[in-house]
Each structure stands twice: as structure tokens, then as C-alpha cells.
Structure 1
């Protein structure tokens, strides 16, 4: 069951959401609040996986509450609800899964839920496949590495160079193979030749023409390139 909270100060809009959600067999409503302050107070107790969050609310705005929720170790999925289409850009700026306009259209409501179901399923799949140790072929030996110890990996000619906190490993295994084995860990392809551990990101600096450079804690002298194609995905994952 997907645990859902509703944060909505308008009675009619809240009741409409409850009516729509109660028809879904895989959803249970664990709580309902009327302002952002109550949401932040109740979230640690109720631990919802999905929050329907009104943008315009008293005390603490929905977008501000969302920013604080995104700082959680495992942040909830958020679907913003609003009467104003102009808020769409702001909603996605805090990494919302979707946003719904009031009054609710049932087809759009179902589309938003489908996105949440897929996201939650992918999270569960990633967690179940997570490995404890990574076996890397280096020459005529196999090196055992903890995935969380890897800072980044880069493809150079026919080799992949893996940088950890204590050593450098060279392997003929492809970057794609390495990425597949690291499912469940916060690694992302920032560039076709780079795989980086987002846990070590210290800062991101703008470069040129829509590209960026990543600076890692403990590897400040190295700049990891972020291509234009990968920029949106990298920045979104850094917010999660």
C-alpha cells in the first residue's frame, strides 16, 4: 500500500482528493493537514510515501514545505495541487513528481498516480538489487571494493579508471557494466565518459553552453564534467 498525506486548506478540494484516492486499492490515506507547519510536524510520525501538497497554504507555503521535505534521507513523492497554472515551473523546481490543477481532472489525476507508482516501484527494485561488495577485474586479479568507497570512474581509451578514497583501479570492464552493478547507489553518468558518486559532491559550478563541473569532497583538485545532455538528470538527482 502507498501511504498518502493530503496538505490542503480548502475543504472542498481536500474532500475531492479524498474521494478520488479512496477508489484506489493500493492507496491508504494516513493523514490530512491544513497548513505547511502541520505537514512538517506530522510527516516524521506518519511517514507518507506520497503527499498531495497545495502550493498556496497559510503559515508555510507548500513550496517551502516541500524544500524542507526534500532534505529527508528518503524524501516523499510530492504532487502539487494549485488553481494557478503559473506555478508549474516553481513546482518542478523543487523536484515535484507532478502538479494538478483545480478542479481536478480524473484522467490527469490517474496520470500523476501512475508516475508515482512507477517511481516507488523503481526505488524498491533498486533497493532489492543493491550489492554489498563490487568485484572488479584488474589484470590477473579480482579486487573487492565497497561501492560507497568509489568517488568516480572515467573511461580512458580502452580502460576504465576507478578512483576510491585510498586507491586507483584500472579495469577493462566497461563503464556501462560498472553502472549496472552499482544500481541502488547514488551514481550517475554525468558525461558519456564519467560515472560519479553523488554522495561526495561538494559543489557544482557552471561552465559554458549549458555544461557544468562537479567538485567532490576529498578530490577538490579534480573537476568532473557534466554534459548538456546529462545536466538536468544530475541536478534533479542531487535534489533527491
Structure 2
């Protein structure tokens, strides 16, 4: 089954380049393209595409506004969204709108291939859900989702004694030479021989590795700020306003989890 794709892009060369790259895929059917957010809405209503590649900076109505209009239309199913832009400052808003991906221009075939893999996976899930609904074969019992193990307490060596720490007190941990320094919300720190991976496994789903040298409590994040080249900084709560680097690879997953998506 082919995926129908609508490209919304006001720059002709960028529009044609993306169309050329997508046209190589045998399971993709390209629809009439749009040069503005307003045109994208009209064409989406007419063709009901499976996917919209939405540029953000467009005349009349930008891509974020157009996506919000699509999401608000209760009469039609929201198409899968991929935002395309030369800037990374809209990433948080894009993922709040449920975007499948966020492509920074210029993008190559390998990066586009990753996006298409995500689109195909999401589209296959949608088709399965539609078939189940149509046949009345929906599950009668909820399927338990996997939840990473979680410990409410940690036992940390502190000299000659052992200290019991509540997991919610842990703000972040940082890798040092041959140890890990654990920072608590009240300002205390402890050095432990446990690795970041071990701490992550013990603390569970509420903690996240934004960078190979850090583990942070998602509840401790106050704000996320773009840095450069697709990376971000996470500002933590508290008087110190600690700034933790978030790698480009980890940024999308962290934003997805903070947005409450499954």
C-alpha cells in the first residue's frame, strides 16, 4: 500500500529537491505540493494525505500554525507530520504537536531514510488499528505496557557508613574519572562507584541520559534551551540553575518523554 505525501514548502528549489528524493521510494505517491500554510490546509482537506512534510517558515500561515489547524480538525484523521526547517528553535513545539520527525535543512539521503523508516512504522500501526476497529476485533483486555524497574531508594556509601537516599531527591548524576557524583535537590553531593548505567537501571523511567556523562531526573527540569547544531541545554530547578548538555541524538527522545507521549 502506497503512502501519499504532501510537501508544504515555499522555496521552489527546496520543494523540488525533497520531491526528487521522495520520488525514488517505490511505496510513496507524491501529491500536489503547497507553497504556503494556507495552501497546505486546502490540499490536505482535498487529498487527505497520509503524511505532510511541513516547512515551518512559510508565508500567510507558518507550518506550526497550519499543523495546529490540522490537529484541531475533528472531522479528519491527523496526517503524520514531519517538520522541515533550517532552524532548530521550533523543535519543542513540533514534538508537542506529535511530529514524527524534525528535519534540519539541508538533509541528506541517510537522514531522510531514518525519517521514512519512522513514517512507515507509524503508518503500519495506524493501519492495524483501523483494521481492528473495522472488524470489531479490538482487544477486550488491556495489554500491560513495559515499565522499567524503579527503586524508591538508593544505598550510597559515604565513608564508613551507608546513606539511604530517596530517589526523588536525586537531581542529576555526572560521570567523573572512576566514579559518579550524585547531586541531590538539597545541594548535597555523594560520590559512588555505581556507574550511570547502573543508577539509570535502579532509578527507572523517571530518569534520562541526555548525554553520555550525565543522568538527570526528568521532574527536575525547569526549561530546555536550544544550543547549537541540534543540541540543547536542560536547565534544572533550584537556586544553582544547573545547566546540563543534551546531545542532538537524545534531544528528541527527551522532549517526547517530557511531552508525555508513549
TM-score scaled to structure 1, two decimals?
Answer: 0.57
Which residue number in structure 2 is paired with residue 178 of structure 1? 141
Structure showing greater radius of gyration is: 2
Segment drifting more, 68-77 vs 93-102: 68-77
Q: Which residues in structure 2 correspond to 1:25-104 (within 5 Å)?
A: 25-72=26-73, 73-104=76-107
In the alignment, is residue 105 of structure 1 matched against residue 68 of structure 2? Answer: no
- From the two aligned structures, give the one with the greater strand fraction: 1
Q: Secondary structure at the match of 1:31?
A: coil
**Compared with structure 1, are the counterparts of its residues 121 and 43 closer, same or farther at alpha carbon in structure 2 (3 Å cutoff)?**
same
Distance (Å, rounded) in 2 between the aligned partners of 1:117 and 1:133: 23
Distance (Å, rounded) in 2 between the aligned partners of 1:75 and 1:53: 13
Distance (Å, rounded) in 2 between the aligned partners of 1:52 and 1:133: 33
Q: Secondary structure at the match of 2:57?
A: coil
TM-score scaled to structure 2, two decimals?
Answer: 0.52
- How many corresponding residue pairs? 152
Verify the 8 A CA contact 2:96 2:259 in the aligned structure 1.
no
Q: CA RMSD in A?
A: 2.8
Distance (Å, rounded) in 2 between the aligned partners of 1:133 and 1:95: 27
Verify the 8 A CA contact 2:36 2:61 in the aligned structure 1.
yes
Distance (Å, rounded) in 2 between the aligned partners of 1:110 and 1:15: 17
Structure 2: give runs of 5+ residues left out of the alignment: 148-217, 220-255
Q: Secondary structure at the match of 2:66?
A: helix
Q: Secondary structure at the match of 1:179?
A: coil
Which residue number in structure 1 is paired with residue 136 of structure 2? 132
Distance (Å, rounded) in 1 between the aligned partners of 2:17 and 2:42: 24
Distance (Å, rounded) in 2 between the aligned partners of 1:70 and 1:111: 24
Which residue number in structure 2 is paired with residue 219 of structure 1? none
Q: Which residues in structure 2 correspond to 1:13-24 (within 5 Å)?
A: 13-24=14-25
Verify the 8 A CA contact 2:82 2:100 in the aligned structure 1.
yes
Shift of 1:75: 0.4
Structure 1: give runs of 5+ residues left out of the alignment: 135-146, 148-176, 181-187, 192-208, 211-230
Which residue number in structure 2 is paired with residue 224 of structure 1? none
Shift of 1:96: 0.7
